[in-house]
Amino acid sequence: MLEVILVLFPIVVLNSCSSKKNTALTRQYKAFTTRYNVYFNGSEAYKEALNNMENNYQDNYSEMLYIHPVSSFANKEKVVPNSGFDRAIEKSQKAIKLRSISKRPIRDPRKSMSADYKNFLKRDEYNPFIHNAWMLMGKSQFFKGDFINSSATFLYITRHFSWLPQTVTESYIWMARCYCELGWLYEAENTLSKIDTKSITKEIKPLFEQTKTLYYIKKGDFSNAVPELESAVSLSEKGVQKQRMMFLLAQLYTQINEPDKAYKCYNKIIKSNPTYRTFFNASIAQTEVMPESQMKNIQAKLNKMLKDPRNEEYLDQVYCAIGNMYLKQKDTLNAVSSYSVAVEKSKNSGMEKAVAGIKLGDLSFAKEKYSLAQKGYAVAAGLLPKEHKDYKRVDNLSSILDKLKTYSEAVELQDSLLNLSTLSDDERRKIADDIVKNVIALEEKENKEKEIAARNEQTQNDANQNFSINPLNINTQANNGVIKQNIAVSNDNSWYFYNKSLVEAGKNDFQKKWGNRKLEDNWRRKNKTNIAVNTESEVHNGPQNEDENLDASIQNDSINENDTKNPDFYLSQIPLTEEAKQKCNDIICDALYNMGMIFYQELENLPLAIKTFSQLDSRYPINKYKADVYYDIYLMYMRLNDIANAEIYRNYIISGFPESNYSNALSNPDYIKNMKEMSEKQENLYEATYEAYLSGNTDVVHKNAEYVNQNWPMSKLMPKFMFLDAMAYASDKNNEMFKDILQKITVAYAKDAVSPLAQSMVDNINSGRTLSQGNNSRMSMVWQTEVINYKLDSGKVVNINTFKIEQNKPHVLLLAFQSDSVNVNQLLFNIAKYNFTNYLIQDFDLETLTFKDLTLLVIKGFENFDKLSDYRFRISMIGGLELPSAVTPVMISEDNFRVLLQGKSFDDYFSFLEQSSQESLEENDDSNDDNNNDNN
């Protein structure tokens, strides 16, 4: 009997292995082999890879931690963990391919009436264990960072294993987590809403809580994230991943302003036997949320950390924490000092240094220490990733303060020099001697540190270097009697300039002999002024040998007044004459004005700008900026809604500067109302004025320019209106007015973009040249032609829109002419040549359109009206682009051009511009009449 069983067993097994059969025996057999063969190996590989990821990932404690290292895959700029999930995916796929049973079983007539049996027959899969392989593949794809394919796998599970409700529920949770990592919050919320919380078992509850935590964090809803994460932490097993989530929980407590809970949470981490790195960062983070009762203990702990050799690489964080402690005690002086040391001590140049730089910058800026603030912001701006919440603010402040620092340091320097000028000769000499001692001591300290660092690094590299034998790594090979030399410059750092320690040592040797020299001509000379004065005597009487010249130069260094180790170098800068003192005061005056303008226009810190301008006014009651300063203070007080103070400065301007444009403008009690109207209407009026100029209607140009000068003299477009007015006088052949207005522009608006163009025209006139004139006639014969783009006409009714004034939208330049009156190909060639020659970066598109008797050459590529108007001015200049007399240029926005192409004519467009111009003028006239009546 036993022999029969042994013979039949392999046959039964072989029949069970067949994928073409679906019986209870084949299902159980394939489930067994799936679990204990392929799936087991894949599952073990998955556990090992997940354990390595969670334990070996280096968290960035300077930012909010990820709930799990896998989240780093969602950010391409972050360091991602090593992924070892390929084997698990491979085994899962193999199990599905070899062990899947999709063939339906033979129907059992005895069970055909059962609803459960009917559902059983509708399944897509009959291996009772294969869903585990699918789940393993989905999870492995997720932790590999392949969130899209992972979500697709879990979606497949929800649709093809519907008879396994627990599996479907878990799959929905994993799907939601994939969507959260991808940032698809709507899809995540929709998926979470499908989950029946009653079906969540104890095994998958931690996953559910973590997913909801991630969802709320991605939304920025930290208050709702906290209870979910609290639950997830309580359900998690001990280990690195639990400590990671606890650290994140403490950070969330800090975000929702619950410092006591954060402090206790960090304490739990410290007591949970973490790695030293986690212990250190938890201890540092505690300083930001510490209660006052713990300050002494924290201070003692931080001082102990400074002495611990394990913290040598983390000194920046320790000093930053000490700064936090001082800040808690409102000791800003020591806080600034600690943050400054943190920046200097940092060795890693990572986020920790950036955080210290931001704190140094913010605190120093609040204390008006702009040089120190710029230092902090500059350090942070170079280290912060662009997606960081503070990046734009810090980068902007760094660039602004770079300019502000120059003026601030100028004020500090000149003030100190003026103060020194009031001291006696002996007192000044003593201060200079002390400065020299400090310079020498600092230089000796720096050189000693560099030498030690260079020697230490050289000692470490000597074992791997063959520098003394083959310094350039020259490989010499004999080839037919010819010696070939190959200089290898590779990553082995064997070449001199690839070896940092040797380069540093070389620098030290150079500085010992020559001092700290700039990279410039005659670098061996310290006193170039004296050398230049004595050039002739050197040539005829000096030493002929270059080495003798060098020796003489070195000997003279010790008595050189430009030597920073010579007290006379500092004493010579002190202003002792009235003329020198006046120069110092002029520098301070200019610097204070520029500082105020930076606060006002770039930082938009109105109180600080007012304070700086007031300081300028009090220190220098008579200064060249007085009218400008009073006007700016007036505008700032109006913006701050401080009408009383604004009125004071308004009266200062009217009484103190009665002939100025400011006085004329502010004499109108409705000036602010006019300013608002100006900002709304000036651009429309300017575009209409420009079109009037191009159309040859110079009377309209003169009228509009005069109107703006009378009503809006402070308009930012005033120089452009003046320029159009001048160009219109050129068309009228009134050369005197043309030149007079251009000269006014160059004097009154020297910094405006149109000023260089005006100056070049004045120079041309003075040299006897005349402005090139073109034909600005309207070509009334063709202006009435309807411009229809037949490419758009498909037999449907076209919706004809209306024209609009659009200054800041893309524009085109239309060169219009009667068909057959111009050689189109030659015109295209001339324009393309001009564009290529004068615009090396910007590209222009050229297109020719013909409508009955009218041809248009369209030049595209202008961002806005200003860009196009600049182009139009330049081609009209002598030496620009001489257009045929039959060509008339028309400037128009792309949107208005589309309207034109729907069946409008140029007459329609010109009428619209003239009407807009007239309406704008009438509205302002009516407004002025109403104001006058109200005043009467």
DSSP result, 825-860: HHHHHHHHHHHHHH-SS---EEEEEEETTEEEEEEE
**Between 578-597 and 391-421, two packed helices, what is the crossing angle to 10 degrees?**
160
Task: Return d(Cα 48, Cα 497) in angstroms, integer.
Answer: 44
DSSP code of residue 66: P
* Amino acid 370: pLDDT: 82
Determine contact, residues 284/301, Cβ cutoff 8 Å. Answer: no
Task: Return d(Cα 99, Cα 136) in angstroms, integer.
Answer: 15
* Amino acid 783: pLDDT: 59
- The pTM (predicted TM-score) of the whole model is 0.51
Mean pLDDT of successive 10-residue stretches along the chain, which has 936 residues: 42 48 77 82 90 89 89 76 84 85 71 69 77 91 92 90 88 94 91 87 92 93 94 90 93 92 91 89 85 76 80 80 80 83 76 83 84 86 81 86 85 88 86 85 83 73 50 41 37 40 51 50 41 35 44 45 75 86 90 90 88 92 89 87 87 86 73 65 78 82 84 76 87 84 79 75 68 44 56 42 79 86 84 78 79 83 84 74 82 86 77 69 57 50
Contacts (Cβ under 8 Å, ≥6 apart) of 31: 127, 128, 129, 130
* Amino acid 180: pLDDT: 93
Task: Return d(Cα 451, Cα 507) in angstroms, integer.
Answer: 10
Q: What letters, b where the CB count within 10 A reaches 16 and e where it falls short, cover 149-186?
A: ebbebbbebbeebeebeebbbbbbbbbbbbbbbbebee
Determine contact, residues 714/665, Cβ cutoff 8 Å. Answer: yes
DSSP result, 634-660: HHHHHHTT-HHHHHHHHHHHHHH-TTS
Residue keyed to tokens 């529920």: 169
Determine contact, residues 316/343, Cβ cutoff 8 Å. Answer: yes
* Amino acid 493: pLDDT: 40
DSSP H or E segment with residue 718: helix 718-731
SS3 of residue 905 by DSSP: strand
Q: 598: which 2 tokens? A: 């930076």
**Between 86-99 and 130-143, two packed helices, what is the crossing angle to 10 degrees?**
160
Q: 665: which 2 tokens? A: 């403008």
CA 532 remoteness from chain centre: 47
Closest Cα to residue 893, out of 804, 795, 818, 761? 804
